[in-house]
Amino acid sequence: MTDTTTGKSERVDLRMTPTAKRTLQRAAAVANKTVSEFLLDSSLSAAFDTLADRRVFQLDEVQWAAFMNALDTPPRNNPRLRKLLAVKLPWDPE
């Protein structure tokens, strides 16, 4: 999971309870890894999962057809939204 071909140059410091540290040490030992390797692999896996949830989604054929139909359908007229978007905000350029 980690990139072992690139030299490591960044450091992250963590504060935790002694119980949390012992739990991580036991888990790392079971996985035959150092605590640093275990933390890096586990946290990168969680990070990839978190990011994938925001970039990738899977649909079956029916859902895909509905999604494409929604993209192809022109938006309904929404006067309240048009009014809201027409308001000049204080940070808008003059």
Mean pLDDT by 10 residues, the chain (94 residues): 68 94 97 96 94 83 96 94 91 81
> What is the structure's pLDDT at 52?
83
> What is the structure's pLDDT at 54?
81
> What is the structure's pLDDT at 26?
97
Break the chain into its structural domains and give their ranges: 18-86
Give the N- to C-terminal CA distance of the chain in Å, as an integer. Answer: 50
> What is the structure's pLDDT at 4?
53
> What is the structure's pLDDT at 58?
86
Structure pTM? Answer: 0.53
- Which segments of the chain does DSSP mark as H helices, in order? 18-30, 35-55, 61-72, 79-86
